[in-house]
Amino acid sequence: MRSVKVEEFCQQFLHLWSRATNPHLQLFKQDPLHAKVDPAQAESFIETAESIGKQEARWYREHPQELQGIIDSLKINELPEAQAQQERYTFAVYKKTDHIMIDRNFLAQAQHFIEAQQLSRLLPATTLTELVFMHEVFHVLEYRKNLWTIQRQLHYQIGFLKKQARLYSLSEIAAASFVQTFYQLENSPTLLASCIIYCKNPELAQALVTTALKEQTIHRSY
């Protein structure tokens, strides 16, 4: 396997960060049910999820006490390292309304990496740990407030069977939009996943950035 050059990775990542125009659409496309949604409806779903994230972020920026109250009501512990070492990397998880587990060691390592590579200037007011933590806080809020992203069910049919299910990608889009607005980032925090993964698995991180850049190009050529 070709070894990954850190300078090359950072250059490509910065390129992606400055030009990625559709990270929400990319999240939507990862939804197992995305093909069952017609494109016009998909667009409106994505827009609604995005605006809910923004709206909540603006409200909590103006009401920091309320946000602190929610954070204080949570049980927060360390995510066991074993979970972070599988093929798919998990930085944090939430359990419905009151529990967040976060891999602080992993995120501290990643923070160290982005500082060493001068990428931390992209997060002038925060750290990777805070971004990931606030992402999970949004999921808690979603449940406590029963937001649209929880309520929205997709109705679809398989043969004669009528089914309904949640589109989990809408929650991810709203959470990303929440974090982006809350910390006033220039682009979606989901793009930063490759930087977090880099310190554990540079090959995978490089592959993620390369694929994301290609998807941008395809999208733009339509």
Shortest Cβ 171–Zn ion spacing (Å): 6
Q: Which is nearer to Zn ion, 6 or 148 (CB)?
A: 148
Q: Which is nearer to Zn ion, 31 or 172 (CB)?
A: 172
Site track for Zn ion across 107-136, x = CB under 5 A: ------------------------------
Is 16 in contact with 216 (CB distance < 8 Å)? yes
Shortest Cβ 139–Zn ion spacing (Å): 6
Is 199 in contact with 109 (CB distance < 8 Å)? yes
Shortest Cβ 178–Zn ion spacing (Å): 10
Shortest Cβ 172–Zn ion spacing (Å): 5
Q: Which is nearer to Zn ion, 56 or 172 (CB)?
A: 172
Stated length of the chain: 222
Cα separation of 60 and 180, whole Å? 13
**Residues 140-199 within binding reach of Zn ion (CB under 5 A):** 172, 175
Instruction: Enumerate residues 6+ apart whose C-beta is below 8 A from 142.
Output: 149, 150, 171, 174, 175
Cα separation of 40 and 46, whole Å? 10
Cα separation of 125 and 176, whole Å? 16
Site size toward Zn ion, by CB under 5 A = 2
Shortest Cβ 117–Zn ion spacing (Å): 25
Q: Which is nearer to Zn ion, 171 or 216 (CB)?
A: 171
End-to-end Cα distance, the chain: 33
Shortest Cβ 175–Zn ion spacing (Å): 5
Sign of CA dihedral 67, 71, 90, 32: negative
- In sequence order, what are the beta bridge partners of 162? 157
Dihedral angle computed from the Cα positions of residues 125, 131, 136 and 142, in that order, rounded to the nearest 10 degrees: 50
Shortest Cβ 143–Zn ion spacing (Å): 12
Phi, psi values for residue 221, rounded to 5°: -85, -5
Q: Which is nearer to Zn ion, 50 or 172 (CB)?
A: 172
Instruction: Enumerate residues 6+ apart whose C-beta is below 8 A from 6.
Output: 117, 198, 202
Q: Which is nearer to Zn ion, 31 or 206 (CB)?
A: 31
Q: Which is nearer to Zn ion, 103 or 172 (CB)?
A: 172
Which residues contribute to the site for Zn ion (CB under 5 A)?
172, 175
